[in-house]
Structure 1
């Protein structure tokens, strides 16, 4: 009786229900108290992340590390905390740890471009340029409104010697970032590398309007204008730049300004400009050569000779300096010295017809017409149709 009661249908149903209940039991639902605590932890972690970001921007890296660690303790799945942690690790050069943090961030927020961008930075530090490019490209695709990601993608293409692709990328984005001077500045720099100076000048001009407080863009615009023979506008920009504290000691800019002034026939201003440059960089051959040219234009042959001699002392391999010094000697009637200078210029650059012509001029003045004719003919062979050589040879034949 007892055994039969134990084996009754009621007992079997109860046992089945008990087993089913055990099998279906999963993780317990969090209580309201636990949910509230999780919400508090997430909110607190968010506050700590924002604090860490501010500390990072202000260069307070140790404080930022403590705030980030606290955020990760409170909310280990906070993707922004992993990103800040990665930035701090990159700052300290701990790249492997940074990449681990970025992998966690990508898993938590796979559509956020920042983790891919920072991984690109890590790969760039490791000199893995192809992988770096792919990561920057992905970052840009996932976060197309982030200009920094586009610029990083273009920079990677330049590193891979794909300058044309980099330029095409930036130009394709110019309408999207229509108010970005930075983008147009980058376009201008790539155009300058390709010697497309007129297009670069247009890009820099747009950039300088959009980023009018960036003097570096104005400097690049001045160079592009100089390269395209727009000397008046270049001189105006350079004159303003060298008056500012940041550029007041840039001898190279004074030299460029002096060159513009010489080409504009503002010889007196050019001489003052080159004298200023000589005080900033007294060991520059270019400075003394420019000062010599300015003095020569004013027929101050002693000053020209002194300046050009200094230029030769610092760089004797420039044919232009020898040409100028020969011109000074010729103006002073010192034919032997002029001949030495012009012959030296010709040896340094045998392809320049000007030096060959000037050798001929000296020989003609030394009453050596046949020798002069040979040099004029050589100049014409170097550059058929050269007006200076043709006129000198015709004049010699006429005599």
Structure 2
């Protein structure tokens, strides 16, 4: 038995009763307390061998268990109301179940009605079915919370006024709705991959796992759809890095600094296989397929120094032709910095300030480029802006440490 295994066994023996008692007092439910404690110890078994035993194992377990209990209570309080809320919004009960066996996936397809604008149907479905709060959805769309709340309210009003039917789609309807469904699942996955709420785990595995599960089901329904395969590959290649992304002290670990030996090789292999299958079709790739290919390049490198940045930039050049969002331009500039240097990339990023000034990753990217250029005072100001906007606790810890390492 390794030292870490011995530590986990010892901590389990010493802390189990205390953690369960603490959660039972807080939540008043022994079953929830025991299940949350079990999940916390399972997380320790998964993370401590890679990250090391934290300085205060009992506190780590209690904090993790509390977060898991809160997440479970939130999920259970929403689950029973989701289908009823969807039906009430559309004003009529659904028709027979149709071709989709999974209840949640059936609801997502039903709510992604083509009569609504794409952003509206995605936001409404995330709120009613996806389990995300209005603030979380707003952050995903980079808009103000009040604006997102109004958008969702208007969508519900339009459904009632236009008498849009709450009707389970047939097999023929699926291709016309799948793009909205994929957008919903990608945003749910992103919220799990890097949670934006300050009161949750920095990585919410229950969200990433559910998004992957539902995307696998869509792949069965639409096996020839390249974007479905692309999204599944993208999720797998990102999720493969999950256990290496947060340190034992709760700090985000940047991709370049991750222990690549801790990545899930089975998920990487599956993601690479899907990317190769899509390349073999020689069909023009969509957004998710290109993003998956970018992540395949990253996960193919033995270490950060081996990354083929020229290929990454070439893929981003393809991506900007199908997705002209400022976030894509930002990520392309970060890759360009590895080829042409930080000064070239900074000039590109600065041109995005009017569109991304409220986005923490924009300021974090600027801070890093300014640091590399030796412009410490400006870098510190950019780090301060990123920290103020970021809400993920692991990301705030990482940005704070990077800022504090700057030479005055």
TM-score range, shorter chain: 0.3 to 0.5
What is the TM-score with the length of structure 2 in the denominator?
A: 0.42
Relative contact order (C-alpha < 8 Å, sep 6+): which is higher? 2
What is the TM-score with the length of structure 1 in the denominator?
A: 0.43
